[in-house]
């Protein structure tokens, strides 16, 4: 996999035997200036610290087309406030992916939680979230100024976000990451869109050796400097940051935006299933009061093994009101669609039992005909 030397003090054959993570990475296998053979400036394609470039790289993932890597050097138009926003974001959020390489990375904005619901990354001072929302709106404007009109997918990413995210529609990019003094292993991104990033440093005129953004499988090395803006398709172009030598008192930062693939999948699933239910209601004119004819049309499609989507609502906390309107509000904001399979159809009682596809143990209580009609969609999304 690795065609360049200098990635770690082990042999290439030993590196190939290391297990891969979910992003294709081999944790801890990094490019480091202290290792013999570290010489990105001798790679096949080198973009020096003050050079802009536009490259077309072949897709390194099976079936992926070639895509553009756009590199801009714009220190004069990189607002100092972006540095303040990035430093604030790093100081306010918990680090993630600390097991891979050096430095740190934080997630910002919207994320998919372990409970399957959309949450915001926790801030240490939640009372500052409103102010930070204005900061991210400013960052979105700056990214628009540097990436719009270049045919690198920035406008398309914002459009897809607007189409997928629920009301009120966001006016700013909602999914960000930030890094500090980062050096990590080569990986692909589990995103639903291209990546867009700016690199910044606390001392813009300083010098830091080893500060490189690399595409090892393509032999492309991009020297980083304050005010470097890059757009690339991290889903099909494996990439990494070399371990930088950070001068005392300096910080090497980056701020980048994309759309997580898991969030996109959840929103697309909600839209598709919601549309199916709405069409069913419009055609059957049953609403919440399910009569025999409408539910029978759905029940006739179901048999053991049929893949279905189930609209599931977790039980409301005991501290919340338990009135009908309160339960309705809870359900409207906390439901999610689960991939399931039918495990039983009882014609006599007109009930259906399903289990979640992710586990043979998560069997749901039998669904009435009304629950099937209003909350079960045939097929998987």
Q: Which domains does the chain have, with CATH numbers?
A: 12-259 (2.60.120), 265-378 (3.90.70)
CB neighbour class for 285 (10 Å; exposed up to 12, middle 13-18, buried from 19): exposed
Q: What is the DSSP string of 183-200?
A: E---B---BSS-EEEEEE
Query: 153 and 230 in contact (C-beta within 8 Å)?
Result: no
| Strand bridging mode 45-47 / 220-223 | parallel
pLDDT value of position 106? 96
Regions of the chain where pLDDT drops below 70: 1-15, 21, 24, 97-100, 284-294, 320-322
Q: What is d(CA 311, CA 343) in angstroms, rounded to the nearest whole number? A: 17
The C-alpha torsion from 164 through 166 and 171 to 176, rounded to 10°, is -70
pTM of the predicted model as reported, rounded to 2 decimal places:
0.86
Cβ density class 125-139: b for 16+ within 10 Å, e for less: eeeeeeebeebbeeb
Q: How many alpha carbons fall within 13 Å on the CB side of residue 16?
A: 6
pLDDT at 153: 96
H or E stretch including 16? helix 12-16
- Tokens for 216, please give them: 């090892």
**Cβ atoms of 198 and 178 closer than 8 Å:** no
Within 10 A of 192 (CB to CB), how many other CB atoms are there? 21
User: Residue 270: which H helix or E strand, with range?
Assistant: helix 261-284
* pLDDT of 13: 67
Instruction: Report the pLDDT value the prediction gives residue 114, as an integer from 0 to 100.
Output: 83
* pLDDT for 328: 77
Is residue 136 reached through a cis peptide bond, with omega within 30 degrees of 0 on the bond before it? Answer: no
- For residue 361, what pLDDT is reported? 82
pLDDT of residue 287: 45
- The confidence score (pLDDT) of residue 28 equals 74
Query: For the CA atoms of the chain, what is the radius of gyration?
Result: 25
pLDDT at 7: 62
- Distance, in Å, from the CA atom of 302 to the CA atom of 22, rounded to the nearest integer, reads 35
Question: Can you tell me the distance from the alpha carbon of 68 to that of 196, in angstroms, rounded to the nearest whole number?
Answer: 12
Say what the pLDDT of residue 2 is.
40
Q: Distance between CA atoms of 32 and 25, rounded to whole angstroms?
A: 16
């Amino acid at each position: 996999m690795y065609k360049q030397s200098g990635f770690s003090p082990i042999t290439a054959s030993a590196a190939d035997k290391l297990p891969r993570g979910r992003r294709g990475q081999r944790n801890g296998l990094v490019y480091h200036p202290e290792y013999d053979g570290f010489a990105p400036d001798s790679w096949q394609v080198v973009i020096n610290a003050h050079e802009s470039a536009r490259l077309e790289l072949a897709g390194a993932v099976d079936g992926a087309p070639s895509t553009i890597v756009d590199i801009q050097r714009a220190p004069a138009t990189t607002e100092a406030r972006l540095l303040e926003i990035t430093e604030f974001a790093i100081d306010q959020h918990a680090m993630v992916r600390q097991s891979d390489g050096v430095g740190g990375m934080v997630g910002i904005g919207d994320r998919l939680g372990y409970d399957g619901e959309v949450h915001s990354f926790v801030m240490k001072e939640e009372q500052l979230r409103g102010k930070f929302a204005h900061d991210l709106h400013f960052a979105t404007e700056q990214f628009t100024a540097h990436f719009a009109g270049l045919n690198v997918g920035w406008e398309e990413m914002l459009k897809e976000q607007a189409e997928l995210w629920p009301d009120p529609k966001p006016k700013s990019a909602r999914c960000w990451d930030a890094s500090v003094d980062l050096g990590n292993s080569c990986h692909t991104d589990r995103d639903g869109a291209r990546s867009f990033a700016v690199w910044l440093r606390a001392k813009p005129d300083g010098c830091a050796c080893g500060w490189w953004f690399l595409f090892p499988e393509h032999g492309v090395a991009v020297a980083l400097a304050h005010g470097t803006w890059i757009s690339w398709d991290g889903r099909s172009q494996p990439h990494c940051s070399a371990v930088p030598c950070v001068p005392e008192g300096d910080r090497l930062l980056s701020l980048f935006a994309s759309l997580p693939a898991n969030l996109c999948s959840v929103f697309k699933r909600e839209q598709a299933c919601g549309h199916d239910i709405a069409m069913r209601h419009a055609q059957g004119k049953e609403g919440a009061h399910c009569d025999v004819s409408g539910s029978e049309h759905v029940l006739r499609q179901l048999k053991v093994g049929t893949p279905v989507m189930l609209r599931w609502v977790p039980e409301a906390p005991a501290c919340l009101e338990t009135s009908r309107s309160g339960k309705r509000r809870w359900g409207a904001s906390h439901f999610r669609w689960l991939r399931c399979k039918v495990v039983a159809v009882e014609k006599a009682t007109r009930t259906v039992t399903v289990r979640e596809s992710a586990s043979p143990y998560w069997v749901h209580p039998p669904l009435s005909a009304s629950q099937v009609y209003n909350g079960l969609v045939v097929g998987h999304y």
